[in-house]
Amino acid sequence: MAQKPGKKYTAAANQVEARPYSLEEAVPLVQKVKFTKFDETVELHMRLGVDPKHADQMVRGTVLLPNGLGKSKRVLVIASGEKIREAEEAGADFVGGDDMVEKIQKQNWLDYDAVIATPDMMRQVGRLGKILGPRGLMPNPKTGTVTMDVSRAVREIKAGKVEFRVDKTGVVHAPVGKVGFATDKLLENASSVIQAVIKAKPAVAKGKYVRSATICSTMGPGISLDVTNMNAKTV
């Protein structure tokens, strides 16, 4: 049996009208209806007109949020030689080579938010696919997490680089900041994510690309976004 929503959630949801909002209306409303004591993450969810089962309709990419995420991500770098020192100097939280691969394999260790690997280590890192893959942590050249420029990759992730990828139901989920951000900064971050997802539209995608979109805080009610302008940009 489904659990009934609490009084605070219901009170928040009652402040949201059953209509699509512009992003400029929705962002301050997310901040207004917040009812928890902690600084929640604000999330954007976009349902796309693609079939992710087909490789040519996969939507994925990265975007560097202009105002960061409000928290520093814990970064693991798997490298060798000089690149280990480079990663440490750039501020990576965990750095190593085969020892890190072994730790993840044997201990199912997942105490980090992002993984960067140098190309020469991908043979070993490839063995971690079943552990890292389902959690969206597997390094990938397309998202800049398989690279020789580990210093830059670490700095970008620490600064608020967000990776997005359409899930098997055709939805992209991405954090855009914290409820406590200034409204204009949250708006700027959300706009950057929307533009990046639109830019990543596959050439073979036909019809309406952005089917629907919502924005919400971690615990708050979803607010429907008007997708008319989003689709106008994809034509």
**Is 79 found in the same domain as 153?**
yes
CB under 8 Å, gap of 24 or more: what pairs does 80-85 form?
80/118, 80/120, 80/121, 83/118, 83/148, 83/150
Exposed, middle or buried: residue 106 (CB in 10 Å: 0-12, 13-18, 19+)? exposed
CATH (domain of 152): 3.40.50.790
pLDDT surpasses 80 at 233 = no
**Is 226 found in the same domain as 152?**
no
Read off the pTM.
0.78
In a domain, 4, yes or no: no
Q: Tens digits of per-residue pLDDT, 119-142?
A: 999 999 999 999 999 888 999 998
Residue 67, Cα to own-chain centre: how many angstroms? Answer: 14
What is the three-class DSSP state of 86?
helix
**Is 136 found in the same domain as 117?**
yes
In a domain, 10, yes or no: no
Residue 204, domain extent: 18-68+161-232
Residue 227 binned pLDDT confidence (cut-offs 50, 70, 90) = very high
Q: Tens digits of per-residue pLDDT, 65-105?
A: 999 888 778 999 999 999 999 999 999 999 999 999 999 99
Q: Tens digits of per-residue pLDDT, 209-221?
A: 999 999 999 999 9
In a domain, 131, yes or no: yes
Amino acid at 203: A
**Is 61 found in the same domain as 90?**
no
CATH (domain of 202): 3.30.190.20
In a domain, 34, yes or no: yes
Structural domain count of the chain? 2
